A = this chain, B = another copy of it.
Amino acid sequence: MLDLDRLAQASQQLIEAGRALDAASQVPATGGNFSCRLSDTLMAVTASGCHKGRLTTADVLVSDFAVRLLGTSRKASDEARLHGQLYEDLPEAHAILHTHSRAATVLSLCHVGDTLSLEGFELNKALEGVKSHETPVRLAIFDNTQDIAALALDVRARLQVDANLHGYLIRGHGLYTWASSMTACRRHIEALDFLMGCELELRRQR
């Protein structure tokens, strides 16, 4: 059953996140998509093709995790399934943000290997569950693809063998991160973009 108060709150959170992330240049053009868990089976997710810095409540769609939309003629982003899969696999995830920052795009392309490990930064502690700067913050890296169903399965398989990820990068594309609330998820995005910017600058200095 759809909780309309929760939906109204979620819509507001998605609109505000979009404004903040646009101001931080993390959702250029129509890049990015955002969602909130509404229940054990439903999510609120941003529609396809709209600018994330100028969202309205009409751009927030209600869907189950298999991306069957409720009561709308609009189209969800193809990537909505990546949100649904994360809500299925991570019961503690209540908000998901996907952004296209320059740092995420560039690092995902120039880093070799399937994992980016951010190490030795105090701001690692901004991520849920991290208590010390000595704990690495780890992001999986996947090659980009237009076959989102296949990518969702790859993410699922990776999460089964690697429970300590704080998000993942898609090469040349952007960052996905999740958290127990939208407030925490925005903190994750702010911290991860800062950390990736530091990492790029450190590599330039070496």
Interface of A with B (CB < 8 Å)? 25, 28-31, 51, 100, 102, 105-106, 109-110, 120-123, 126, 131-134, 144, 146, 170-174, 187-188, 190-191, 193-194, 197-198, 200-206
Contacts and interface: CB of A to CB of B under 8 A. Distances in A.
Contacts of A31: 122-123, 126
- Report, nearest first, the 5 A-B pairs whose CB atoms are least far apart: A29-B126, A122-B173, A29-B191, A28-B194, A120-B172
Nearest to A203: B205
Nearest to A126: B29
Contact of A205 (B51, B126, B204): B204
A135 to B, nearest CB: 10
B174 A122 contact: yes
A30 B172 contact: no
B205 A200 contact: yes
B144 A30 contact: no
Contact of A122 (B121, B144, B188): B144
A110 B172 contact: no
A76 to B, nearest CB: 16
A26 B174 CA distance: 23
A171 B203 CA distance: 16
Nearest to A110: B205
Given A110-B205, A190-B29, A121 B146 contact: no
A123 B204 contact: no
